[in-house]
């Protein structure tokens, strides 16, 4: 195992990311508040560069008891990355697709040491 330098903590803003490479392996490191999450930049759908997609909150449709729609709302607690190839979404904290829990990103460990962020490969 090796620790691959990603960035200084202060260089990644909240809800931003850095994608780093170690040979053919690409890993996206995301910041949500003071937490960091690392996922292989390889979408489980068809291998797209999932970590380079848009970051946005989960969208829920608001339904009443009769299942009539009252529009959509953002879910503040769930931040997703959206694969740029075909739109599969993954929760940045868990790496899990919201509609199919068996579809998941490959996780890597993040190490923060002396103000520097590393990903363990
Ligand atoms: S490759 Fe990511 S959604 Fe298809």
Which atom of ligand 1 lies at the shortest distance from residue 50's CA? 2
The reply to whether ligand 1 has any atom less than 6 angstroms from the CB of 88 is yes
The reply to whether ligand 1 has any atom less than 6 angstroms from the CB of 43 is yes
Find the 56 Cα to ligand 1 centroid distance in Å: 17
| pLDDT for position 7 | 98
Mean pLDDT of 13-42: 97
Structure tokens at 117: 């962020």
| pLDDT for position 38 | 98
The structure's pTM equals 0.92
Nearest CA to ligand 1 atom 3: 86
Supply φ then ψ for residue 107, to 5 degrees: -90, 145
| pLDDT for position 121 | 92
- Nearest residue to 98 (alpha-carbon basis) of 80, 84, 73: 80
- pLDDT-based confidence at residue 1 (cuts at 50, 70, 90): confident
Sequence spans of domains, the chain: 3-120
Residue 96 has pLDDT above 90, yes or no: yes
Q: Which CATH superfamily is domain 3-120 in?
A: Rieske [2Fe-2S] iron-sulphur domain (2.102.10.10)
């Amino acid at each position: 195992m090796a620790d691959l330098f990603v960035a200084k903590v202060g260089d990644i803003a909240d809800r931003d990311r850095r994608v780093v490479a170690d040979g053919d392996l690409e890993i996206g490191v995301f910041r949500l508040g003071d937490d960091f999450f690392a996922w292989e930049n390889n979408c489980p759908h068809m291998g797209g560069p999932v970590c380079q997609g848009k970051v946005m909150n989960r969208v829920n449709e608001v339904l009443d008891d009769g299942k009539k729609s009252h529009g959509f709302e953002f879910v503040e607690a769930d931040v997703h990355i959206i694969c740029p190839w075909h739109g599969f979404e993954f929760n940045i904290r868990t790496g899990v697709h919201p509609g199919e829990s068996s579809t998941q990103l490959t996780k890597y460990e993040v190490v923060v040491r002396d103000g520097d962020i590393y990903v363990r490969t």
